[in-house]
Structure 1
């Protein structure tokens, strides 16, 4: 037994398995047609960020015909929040992102490549850590926090690169006897990588989003295992992504700076690295510049914001796809009713710089999404939202489901549907004039019409109104009012001789529309009046008169 093997036995006397035995438990995934295996691997340390949802969606789309799994990286127990795992799983599920395998709850999972909770994989990491010691790629470091701080101060004073490397790696050359003595004294230690990196040498890799990236090799002796034996993210992900058969690691581009470390870890472990795809952050415009969406500053950074505002999950995903692939909008125009899961998503089509998040654009996308829903679907989703966020509205909608559904059905035509609703919080205002409890009864008439003419139109129409009229008969009755009251029956007649009339048939219709709804712009007025019924219509016309 040489000194490296002796050191490994000294540090890990309880570890009896070999890497080969662990690898046998995780067989290679069968990928007959080159299907991709991706993972979303969040930490349960806070609310689900819109950037996290974006990355999860990209992972899911890339592995559409392969496997996308959920791994929870819970090694940082100090920052973990209560019910963090449940919040992640439920939050993603609400946006239609489910996984083929991985965590299904705080302590439940499905799949053959688990555990998918990193805190349950401690023994696995230690098997590979022991192997690195045996190969001479890892060693114990007994430096205290005070000693490390003192090194940093000296490095700053000397204006050299900070970190634990080269001459600054004071525990790198400890003898076996030194290490034994320190262990016998009970000194705590971390396990560090003995980096094979060389100064002034470069490493390069092909990023699936950014293209070829060249960076200095890693020469830092990073920590692999903390004092409690729990791995750092760097070490854990190299082990986990290998055992779980990950083909593509899709993550935020803040991890680009760590790529040389990760590539080096795969090298010393003897593993083939996955394809890396570093996704640019979602940005926000501010003071003429751009910045990352902030958890602290921006309410829209949390996915809960979109639930509270009432954006349908489908709208948010649809909008994120427009950010992810610039050709998605053209595809959507060509395929207006297709399931967006059939869109041919490509990592190579993603933006290399940060995508700008635009709530106005999200609203427009959402209006399109809601416009092609059926009235029943709109009612169901709006009522579900209202039960949680607007109980008074919920009570009105649920009072007569058929009536409420009929409201949403007005002008919901397949050819040119109206786009009045962008989110469920818009519904209260949209339906307000159908419910006495919501309508403010304000009726701002056009300024170009005198009160006397408004009264004359309302009075005449009360005599002409007949609820049994067909739509053509209804409009003909409005036209018949025009000439006796000084209005043109046709708009083109008015345009030929504007001084000869008080207005045209459109002005007469506007008076009726405002009297019945309080709005100048509404869906089809005939349909509104039919739904309100004769008693309500006459009451509103008389009230206005």
Structure 2
């Protein structure tokens, strides 16, 4: 590909960064980094002041950093195409909107909100289900196309409120090539005369977007499918300005497991965290979320599923992004998380597990905790499980899980009693996994039962649960005194 690639991630700071936004950022990043000298720009589209949320920009920046998507240019980062917040670029948009008016491709509209509402009501009554301000209705409205020139000049001079609207042609087919969907065409009669400049002098998304993509020399616009219907308006503006439009790619929707788009409401009902912040707070492994999101609408074309960021950069291509929606499979995300947790050495996990333990009111000894981590690693799905599932390493179980109690049979107390007898005869130094297993074999040999009838109630007695890490190394780590105490308590309580 000739020339260097420049892409942008351009979120609006109207709330926390949505998981779909993070995927869009990721695809832009992978695409840029997969090309020599590719540049990944962050642009904050904060022109909608009414919907601006304090702290949202900060959340976007922190979320991208957490996920390892390092921005080359953006707010606080600098770059020769700044400023990178649209609210700081206001004058530029005004000048370009006026240019379109002068060229006859846009016009001033003076209609009040009441007049616009009347127009919609009138059209609805005459059988138009989705009325809009367009090539037909504009001629019965109050704008610089219907009013005499002197009247227009007078209104502008007196400082009355107005907006600038794009003059969309009545009968035109607008075609462009989408990098993912191939050729796409729209009929202009389906488009409204989009407001470009609002009455407060702020641009709408559409004008600011086109002007900034041109001025920032963006070569490829990779964004969500919801912007596909806006693309023809953008293509028209590029044509009117006489600019070369960037290549465009519209990514597939993220779907809910129960069907339909993954909305906030659906995500909540299905237990899927919807904002990147949730994943940070729940201490997901960032590599797991990145790997999972990469595959949410793209695949390298083979059976591989696990890739580092560098490998994803190497493999990623837009022609392998699907057109159809991608279903958010939370179980698959957990599978990725388990994988990346297991890959990390205990040394690296220790400070995080220690912090979680302290949050839970525990203050474990460093050496002890470093022995628990490798033992638990193959059993946990998320880092907090080291503490929540492994709580029995720090304190005796106060109660026994209901499911686990089903494993407690009529002969359980007798078998455990026999095992305790053998443990009491052991010296501290011989209290290790291999010998503990031998003692289990002795008991089941003497009572002529299988492993299950002793192992199951033994696990319940020492941990309170019916599952967990390898049993004999666990008992070794708990130590002789603790193990005997817990078994005797269980015999007393469960009989």
TM range (shorter): 0.7 to 0.9
Distance 1:530 1:328 in 2: 47
Q: Is the 8 A contact 1:331 1:343 kept in 2?
A: no
What is the distance in 1 between the residues matched to 2:184 and 2:56? 34
The aligned counterpart of 1:403 is 368
| Equivalent position of 2:81 in the other structure | 113
Shift of 1:241: 0.3
Unpaired segments of 5 or more residues in structure 2? none
Tell which has more relative contact order, 1 or 2 (C-alpha 8 A, sep 6+). 2
Contact 1:113 1:243 in 2 (8 A): yes
CA RMSD of aligned residues (A): 2.9
Quick check: 1:452 aligned with 2:417? no
Kept in 1, the 8 Å contact 2:434–2:472? The answer is no
Unmatched 5+ residue regions in structure 1?
1-31, 413-417, 488-502
CA contact (8 A) 2:300 2:315 kept: no
1:254-273 equivalences under 5 Å are 254-273=226-245
**TM-score, scaled to structure 2:** 0.86
Look up the SS of the partner of 1:292 in the other structure.
coil
Q: 1:467 to 1:505 in 2, by over 3 A?
A: farther
Superposition deviation, residue 152 in structure 1: 1.9
Give 1:426's aligned residue.
385
Whole-Å separation in 2 of the counterparts to 1:506 and 1:450: 10
User: Secondary structure at 1:63's aligned position in 2?
Assistant: helix
Q: Distance in 2 between matches of 1:184 and 1:127?
A: 17
Distance 1:57 1:542 in 2: 55
Count of aligned positions:
476
Counterpart selection for 1:285 from 252, 257, 269: 257
C-alpha displacement at 1:365, in angstroms? 2.1
What CA distance in whole angstroms lies between the structure 2 residues aligned with 1:449 and 1:343?
60
Give the distance between the partners of 1:320 and 1:385, measured in 2 at CA: 26
Deviation at 1:354, TM superposition (A): 2.0
Supply the distance in 2 between the matched residues of 1:350 and 1:386 (Cα, whole angstroms).
Answer: 42
Q: Which has the larger radius of gyration?
A: 1
Equivalent in the alignment of 2:477:
531
Number of the residue aligned with 1:87:
59
Structure-2 residue corresponding to 1:169: 138
The normalised TM-score by structure 1 is: 0.79
Match of 1:214, SS state, is: strand
Name the SS of the counterpart of 2:348 in structure 1: helix
Superposed counterparts of 1:413-492, under 5 Å:
418=378, 420-436=379-395, 440=399, 444=405, 445-447=407-409, 449-464=411-426, 467-468=429-430, 471-483=433-445, 485-487=446-448
Cα distance in 1 between the residues matched to 2:136 and 2:450: 90
Counterpart Cα distance in 2 of 1:215 and 1:386 = 58
Alpha-carbon offset, residue 439 of structure 1: 5.5
Alpha-carbon deviation of 1:297? 6.5
1:382 maps to 2:347: no
The alpha carbon displacement at 1:125 in A equals 1.4
The residue number in structure 1 matching 2:320 is 349
Report the 3-state secondary structure (helix = DSSP H, G, I; strand = E; otherwise coil) of the residue aligned with 1:229. Answer: coil
1:182 to 151, 155, 158: 155
